Structure 1
């Protein structure tokens, strides 16, 4: 599978600004500064498709990107939606509540949404916000794809064990959590496999 095009589509804060519901959609969510933008850039193969910032909470709206893929000499399209980070953003309570309504409205109502990539910091482990998000997705019937990112910050000999620890914390089956590093590039194919499986599901 090759990404032959990746383009920013639009930014939206309300349903009126969402793109037409004409493509399978995959959402990305995680706490602020978890490496979400770096993951989007690595998956798309484009360094600047999502803005990488050292300032948590920089994404304050829903950002939509359209990707064109080539697989077995055929082309297909899908859409990514980058959601605002949760947890550590230095914003007011009122603004954070507005974000929560915007995110929950999108996750609950968006018809073409096929899966939600929940990004966890592999070194820090799952936070209360991560667990709350996973429970909310389970309650609403949304399909999660859970990825532990920043795995390059751990010694190679410790990475597999760290993934098993996080799986135990989340009560996941062994070897169902995907380890990922935007720096070293590993995990990209595994994440794409899950995304494509979800995009092609009924």
Structure 2
């Protein structure tokens, strides 16, 4: 069994220039505002308030770094989780959106430590154009040493036949429900295998 046994918030950065030094392999979590990024990070690390949830979707503009330790049969593996601000927010000016889009693009394309992008999609809205565009953007910039994993959140809100349709359209994706604690262990193992073994379990 693979678990995350240690997790701690390290720092926040407003742009690539202020980010912490590279070195440790990084997993980047990104998705629309209110998709459940903070909740998933908390569930994966088994820490209730490790990643802070904003009361206003899209309010956070910081890149948040967390040190995590995976345990596989007593052996420790160190990695870093990176929580990017939610996209798709509307209550900011176009100039602010453009500036932050530039920051995100710089981070995604220039951060050498990134090994895995975890793209979160609300299972209730699986085919939104903004999610498709973000996934295509990530895929177009993937290096040979990077991979992307699509994770559908809030899967408890859907019926089995609805989930089956999404699985058919997105065969390599995963489904989680933080509320019901479904898929969390599988997601933890998948992230571990992507990072340390180069494949999904």
TM-score using structure 2 length: 0.89
For residues 64 and 187 of structure 1, the distance between their equivalents in structure 2, rounded to whole angstroms, comes to: 23
Structure 1: state its 5+ residue gaps. Answer: none
The root-mean-square deviation of aligned C-alpha atoms, in Å, is 1.7
Cα contact 2:126–2:166 (8 A) shared by 1: no
Structure 2: gaps of 5 or more residues: none
8 Å CA contact 1:149, 1:179 repeated in 2? yes
Q: How does 1:94-113 map to 2 (within 5 A)?
A: 94-113=95-114
The count of residues paired between Structure 1 and Structure 2 equals: 194
User: Post-superposition shift, 1:89?
Assistant: 4.1
C-alpha distance 96-161 of structure 1, shift in aligned 2 (>3 A): same
Q: Residue 12 of structure 2 corresponds to which residue in structure 1?
A: 11
Render the CA deviation track for 1:125-170: whole Å, top value 9, x for unaligned: 1321111111111211252110110111224x34532433xx52xx
Residues 28-62 of structure 1: CA deviation (Å, up to 9, x unaligned):
00011111111111011101011123421122110
Distance in 2 separating the partners of 1:126 and 1:84: 21
The answer (yes or no) to whether the contact 2:4–2:68 under 8 Å persists in 1 is yes
State which of 176, 185, 190 in structure 1 corresponds to 2:186: 190
| SS of corresponding position for 2:6 | strand
TM-score, reference length from structure 1 = 0.89
Partners of 2:174 and 2:90 in 1: CA distance? 25
1:144 aligns with 2:162: no
